[in-house]
Amino acid sequence: AAMFLHGKSDAVIGELGAAMERASAALEFEKAARLRDQIATLKRLHAQVHVQGASADLDALACRIESGTACVSVLFFRNGVNLGSRDFFPRLPTDADAGAVLAAFVAQYYLDKPVPRELLLSHAPDEAELLAQVLSEHAHHAVEIKTKVRGDRAHFVELARKNAQAALAARLASQQTIHERFESLRELLELGDTPQRLECFDISHTMGEATVASCVIYGPEGAIKSAYRRFNISGIEPGDDYAAMRQALERRYKRLQAGEGVLPDILLIDGGKGQVAQALEVLADLGVSGVLVLGIAKGPERRSGHESLIRGDNGKILWPGPESPALHLLDTIRDEAH
């Protein structure tokens, strides 16, 4: 499978053909028939993914910049086979243009990945010749960086452009939705400022054992996955979710209080008053202040959209309702913790 996905379908078919001949010679005709069918299937797949004009190994890259956000879309071709595409959203330096973004992206992306012999770019990168030289030395074969191409290669670059444009539009729309949900949460909780960081904890276990606490972090830009944490819980009675939550919170906020991270504006607890009380006790014991504890309790018959929110600072219970953008945000964060 790995060889086929790397474009080495001829080698795979050759190996299967040899195995089929051996099975036939050994009178294992059922096995030989299965191998024959596999070969036929692979040949059909190869014909479907083979791309005219992409006989060489090449990647086509395009950059799109809009509203202070950049997207780089990469199409991969190996041995004439289209291996798909990926979209990346690199951090955008001030006043950077598409060529500069592509130059920085190419220099970093191919540091630990195989470099194809051709890189087709939508915009001319800074110091293209020097960049090609460095990549050639790194790959131990000649690497060409091309920006002015025709025919099939121009078509590949145009496909990458369209991919980048579509991916960036979806990204910006998603960010706008998240910003609106954060603002709705501010209004619902009657906060002076829009919260910038939410942490959510969830406890899971298998038949009361192998208890694990997960911690996910969200900001106005979406999930901050590099800050996610998981805690293996030990030394508690099986199935004691309160003790598990307390242990996870103690371990997490001892580190934050010691400066090993950033305190959240809101600590979201998947649970009702009991879990909220546990969180408040832990924060009080550790001397942590300035964090709003918010519980999210399941609604009647566990129906999504009918959850209630329990504020830890004043005990007030809120029912935002299924149309609330704020509740949509909290549901998303809680589900991610699950």
Q: What span, in angstroms and rounded, lies between the C-alpha atoms of 119 and 176?
A: 33
At residue 253 the predicted structure's pLDDT band, cuts being 50, 70 and 90, is: confident
Weakest mean pLDDT among 17-21, 122-126, 235-239, 281-285: 235-239
Question: Residue 160 half-sphere exposure, CB side, CA atoms within 13 Å?
Answer: 32
Q: Higher confidence at residue 159 or residue 49?
A: 159
pLDDT score recorded for residue 206: 67
pLDDT at 246: 86
| Average pLDDT score over residue span 264-287 | 89
Contact 269, 213 (CB under 8 A): no
pLDDT given at position 63: 96
pLDDT of residue 122: 95
Inter-residue contact 201 to 176 (CB < 8 Å): no
Of residues 258 and 207, more confidence is placed in 258
Q: Which residue has the higher pLDDT, 183 or 2?
A: 183
* 173-196: average pLDDT: 88
The per-residue pLDDT for 79 is 74
- φ, ψ of residue 235 to 5 degrees: the values are 75, 25
How much is the average pLDDT of 310-316? 89
Q: Is the torsion defined by CA of 93, 96, 101, 103 positive or negative?
A: negative
Of residues 161 and 176, the one with the higher pLDDT is: 161
Q: Work out the mean pLDDT of the chain and round it to a whole number.
A: 86
The whole-model pTM stands at: 0.56
pLDDT at res. 154: 92
CB 284 within 8 A of CB 276: no
Tell me the pLDDT tens digit for each residue of 93-146: 767 899 999 999 999 999 888 899 999 999 999 889 999 999 999 989 999 999
More confident residue, 56 or 17: 17
How does residue 188 score in pLDDT terms, banded at 50, 70 and 90? very high
Three-class SS state of 84 = strand
**Average pLDDT value for residue range 162-176:** 87
Kindly indicate the confidence band of residue 207, based on its pLDDT and cuts at 50, 70 and 90: low
Give the closest residue to 126 by CA, choosing from 161, 97, 153.
97
> How confident is residue 212, by pLDDT bands cut at 50, 70 and 90?
confident
Q: What is the pLDDT of residues 43-95, one digit of tens each?
A: 777 665 555 545 568 999 999 998 888 999 999 988 777 788 999 998 877 67
Q: Cβ neighbours of residue 199 under 8 Å, at least 6 residues apart?
A: 215, 216, 217, 252, 264, 266, 267, 268
Eight-state DSSP code of residue 50: B
